[in-house]
Structure 1
Amino acid sequence: MGFSALVASALCTFLLPLLLFLAAVKLWDLYCVSSRDPSCPLPLPPGTMGLPFFGETLQMVLQRRKFLQMKRRKYGFIYKTHLFGRPTVRVMGAENVRHILLGEHRLVSVQWPASVRTILGSGCLSNLHNGQHKHRKKVIMRAFSRDALQHYVPVIQEEVSACLARWLGAAGPCLLVYPEVKRLMFRIAMRILLGFQPCQASPDGEQQLVEAFEEMIRNLFSLPIDVPFSGLYRGLRARNIIHAKIEENIRAKMARKEPEGGYKDALQLLMEHTQGNGEQLNMQGLLCSPNQEKQLDMEVLEQLKYTGCVIKETLRLSPPVPGGFRIALKTLELNGYQIPKGWNVIYSICDTHDVADLFTNKDEFNPDRFMSPSPEDSSRFSFIPFGGGLRSCVGKEFAKVLLKIFTVELARSCDWQLLNGPPTMKTGPIVYPVDNLPTKFIGFSGQI
């Protein structure tokens, strides 16, 4: 082969792909610039859009909070990026988030990534809009009223007490608490929300549901490609396992006239409401007492003010989800920038907590900061662990009750030591401890 042939071969092998890549990058830049609304005089927020077609999704998925912190340091409280196949503006800070959350149905509307919509289903509350969302939320809130929560308290306390007894009786120098807590919370959810009784789920069957739920959550934010072994495929398969079990439970409930266990679970309340109003129950739309001296109820729990502050401080430092997704219904102005119509908007919960001027010594765990005055009263969008506005989490009061009961039972039943010290937390997509929290427990008897 002659010299000219070698040069031509080298050009085809190395130079041509490079030129094609550079051309793609240039076209990508032009596309990103052209998506700006020319009728609005304001500039787009600062930021980068990443690689052609892929955007910055891979960096965000792999680096998570490290990637987001780098972006915040470089671009501030509002910046543009390209995530999950769409141009996106990420927003943080109480005033900016307030503008987004209070603009629901007027400036923005909920729109989660395609993989989330596919796995959760179009009938899920988080995917409904306008009147449908308002009606469905009103129905679901019946299952989280104060009266309903009062009925749930003894069941939660029973499960927590039994779990702590197992932990104290476990052999070995330590217990990996995080997977154990996940199993406990899932078991409580199955009983309280879906009416599963302990005898209905064998350990193997319960573990299968726990693993299916974790697999579904793990693959919520994945590429919207439903092929074998893809994240979306695995997420849908896990969802179908859970749906099959719930459907089996619904059939059993419809065959019974009276609820088991002496209380009505959330699913029972929703079934009664939908049947009483002649509505159909859409599967994708739902998702022995302790001794009297230890009995908790809503009145007692509401008096535990400092316990509530401990829970709030925990949620401030580690909110359960990092943020929420919206889509701009029209080109809107935010803090000197434009967000074009059709762009995704992500409001950040964790970053909003991090940058809130309301909190001093932000890295310090200090429940006293929530004693008085309450941050929610003076600046309610500085503290948004459950979101805010029309789409705040429907189960937030249930979550607070559950966390209070767990905290009380843990504090009066045993002492404990985190063997690795304060945990390192990661997000994927929910917050979790990297080391699974190896813990040593020491039992004692105590009162509230």
Structure 2
Amino acid sequence: MDFPLLLALMAIALPVLLHLLTRARKPRPGAAKLPPGSLGLPVIGQSLGLLGAMRANTAERWIQDRVDRYGSVSKLSLFGAPTVLLTGPAANKFVFFSGALAMQQPRSVRRIMGEKNILDLTGAEHKRIRGALAEFLKPDMLRLYVGRIDGEVRRHLDESWAGRGAVTVMPLMKRLTFDIISSLLFRLERGAVRDALAADFMHLFDGVWAVPVDLPFTAFRRSLKASARARRVIAGIVRETKAKLERGEASRSSDLIACLLSLTDDSGARQLSDEEIVDGSMGTLIGGYDTSSILMTFMVRHLANDPDTLAAMVQEHDEIAKNKGDGEALVWDDLAKMKFTWRVALETLRLVPPVFGNFRRAIQDTEFDGYLIPKGWQVFWVASATHMDAAIFHEPAKFDTSRFKDRQSATAPPCSFVAFGGGPRICVGMEFARIETLVTMHYLVRRFRWKLCCDEDTFARDPMPSPLHGLPIELEDMSSP
């Protein structure tokens, strides 16, 4: 964002926000005091500093500098709103379980994902949408998905990896996970519509964490346009599914959209509008494909330089393959034998959590650790504050799968490993992500060997982590004659 644009933004919003922020600085007599820190410039606040640190891969240091300066609770301004940053296990527990806080993404996220996306829903609305998702992600359904995911993974590797001397991992992983989620939960067949929707989702996050001002040539404008195109496609799918339900060609169990359309109240009236279904579908697609693709990309990145971990994974998967016939698909019971691979995934998530942090909104004046969080303020928590805390995870920069021998570090206090969030809002698709990760890695490590093309092994966040140049690798197909 250039300097003239910043001046324009400040000129537009300065009178109103200066009044609001000045008033927000004054706690009521006798009330708990506001946390230490500064709200910074109107509109801008500390947003550009955080975004710059994320893109430079110094965001963990940026957060730690604030903690060193102000303590585990501090105030700042992010994306146009006064914010309280909370860090540490106790803070995470407060964020995940407090009834005084509600989910609310920054305005930029809501504009792009829709006002009724599942990340922002509360109360009965959230329960309805989450319940519908849970219906398709319950164990009985997940067992059925393993074979279909197996087929999608093998087709993807045959078409996009086999016979190539080099590939770029991240876009391929994004397309794989998008195909899996769109096929399983939306019954969207391969073809031009799915290709166009996938292309829009690739650009959807360009301006998710940005100052929410819709001006030409900004990342926020690009994201809004990609979102509008994607929403039109999904709205068309909703109309088609509605017609199929009316003709008896689909049922509530056909796919997620059919289930959402079939939700009714006691009088038989539909519970959700078309807009709510589109917003819910957008959030599900984003949550279902982006985070898993990042996890698998960074697993590939780590394994390129860790031959011992790779060898242990190959041994685990060779043992599973020995008991299966040629071409036989993986089944649910096979996944239970992939314990070491999942520990590799969890340690990857600890070191590079796809979601750097998230937001809540105070729905009433509340307190934490003796500080006031005023009603309407944002609350910001970050994963790195506990993931990289040496008091919780010994030698936190070291890759150590033994931390997760018992599914979670035995020495870590609750709410320390938060790659999937926590509390009632813990990721509903966590088990689905586990399945697609394990199936993909089973075929990937048995079939290919690779090395990194870039000497500089780094990544940036925008806001999701992305390795340098999308992680180009030199590829050797071990199954080739």
Normalised by the length of structure 2, the TM-score is 0.77
Equivalent-residue separation in structure 2 for 1:285 and 1:102 (angstroms): 23
Q: Which amino acid aligns with 2:427?
A: C
Equivalent-residue separation in structure 2 for 1:94 and 1:57 (angstroms): 24
Q: Which amino acid aligns with 1:242?
A: A
Q: CA RMSD in A?
A: 3.3
1:5 is aligned to none
Distance 1:384 1:175, change over 3 A: same
Contact preservation (8 Å) 2:238, 2:278: no
Equivalent-residue separation in structure 2 for 1:167 and 1:30 (angstroms): 53
Query: How much does 1:278 deviate?
Result: 4.7
Distance 1:147 1:364, change over 3 A: same
Matches within 5 A, 1:314-329: 314-329=348-363
Equivalent-residue separation in structure 2 for 1:284 and 1:30 (angstroms): 30
Aligned residues: 414
Query: How much does 1:165 deviate?
Result: 2.3
The yes-or-no answer on 1:196 pairing with 2:230 is no
Larger radius of gyration: 1
Matches within 5 A, 1:386-397: 386-397=420-431
Equivalent-residue separation in structure 1 for 2:236 and 2:359 (angstroms): 33
The yes-or-no answer on 1:236 pairing with 2:228 is no
1:443 is aligned to 477
Question: What SS does the aligned partner of 2:84 have?
Answer: strand
1:45 is aligned to 35
Distance 1:34 1:115, change over 3 A: closer
Query: How much does 1:286 deviate?
Result: 2.1
1:71 is aligned to 66
The yes-or-no answer on 1:185 pairing with 2:219 is no
Distance 1:192 1:42, change over 3 A: same
Q: Which of 392, 412, 430 lines up with 1:358 in the alignment?
A: 392
Q: Which of 389, 392, 406 lines up with 1:372 in the alignment?
A: 406
Contact preservation (8 Å) 1:101, 1:388: yes
1:160 is aligned to 153
2:234 is aligned to 246
Contact preservation (8 Å) 1:93, 1:351: yes
Q: Over residues 68-127 of structure 1, what are the superposed CA-to-partner deviations in whole Å (9 max), with x where a residue is unaligned?
A: 343234333222111111111111211111012110xx2211121112122222222112
Equivalent-residue separation in structure 2 for 1:333 and 1:431 (angstroms): 32
Distance 1:270 1:302, change over 3 A: farther
Matches within 5 A, 1:82-161: 82-103=77-98, 106-161=99-154
Q: Which of 444, 455, 458 lines up with 1:410 in the alignment?
A: 444
Distance 1:274 1:178, change over 3 A: farther
Query: How much does 1:312 deviate?
Result: 0.7
Q: Which amino acid aligns with 2:173?
A: V
Equivalent-residue separation in structure 2 for 1:101 and 1:37 (angstroms): 25
Equivalent-residue separation in structure 1 for 2:345 and 2:34 (angstroms): 38
Question: What SS does the aligned partner of 2:119 have?
Answer: helix
1:431 is aligned to 465
Q: Which of 193, 199, 203 lines up with 1:215 in the alignment?
A: 203
Query: How much does 1:397 deviate?
Result: 1.5
Query: How much does 1:49 deviate?
Result: 2.0
Equivalent-residue separation in structure 2 for 1:428 and 1:284 (angstroms): 22
Equivalent-residue separation in structure 2 for 1:445 and 1:304 (angstroms): 22
Contact preservation (8 Å) 2:25, 2:34: no
Equivalent-residue separation in structure 2 for 1:71 and 1:28 (angstroms): 23
2:50 is aligned to 60
Distance 1:229 1:94, change over 3 A: same
The yes-or-no answer on 1:385 pairing with 2:419 is yes
Contact preservation (8 Å) 1:143, 1:270: no
Query: Relative to structure 2, which stretch is displaced further, 430-439 or 265-274?
Result: 265-274
1:400 is aligned to 434
Distance 1:34 1:90, change over 3 A: closer
Question: What SS does the aligned partner of 2:186 have?
Answer: coil
Equivalent-residue separation in structure 2 for 1:84 and 1:257 (angstroms): 47
2:295 is aligned to none
Stretches of structure 2 lacking an aligned partner (at least 5 in a row): 1-6, 283-323
Matches within 5 A, 1:8-23: none
Contact preservation (8 Å) 1:213, 1:242: yes
Question: What SS does the aligned partner of 2:414 have?
Answer: coil
Equivalent-residue separation in structure 1 for 2:71 and 2:458 (angstroms): 25
Stretches of structure 1 lacking an aligned partner (at least 5 in a row): 1-16
Q: Which amino acid aligns with 1:397?
A: E
Question: What SS does the aligned partner of 1:435 have?
Answer: helix
Query: How much does 1:428 deviate?
Result: 1.0
Question: What SS does the aligned partner of 2:469 have?
Answer: coil
Q: Which amino acid aligns with 1:186?
A: F
Contact preservation (8 Å) 2:387, 2:416: yes
Equivalent-residue separation in structure 2 for 1:73 and 1:315 (angstroms): 25
Q: Equivalent pairs: percent with the same residue?
A: 29
Query: Relative to structure 2, which stretch is displaced further, 141-150 or 291-300?
Result: 291-300
Equivalent-residue separation in structure 1 for 2:20 and 2:200 (angstroms): 43
Equivalent-residue separation in structure 2 for 1:29 and 1:284 (angstroms): 33
Normalised by the length of structure 1, the TM-score is 0.82
Equivalent-residue separation in structure 1 for 2:390 and 2:89 (angstroms): 7
Q: Which amino acid aligns with 2:175?
A: R
Equivalent-residue separation in structure 1 for 2:180 and 2:35 (angstroms): 44
Q: Which of 328, 336, 349 lines up with 2:370 in the alignment?
A: 336
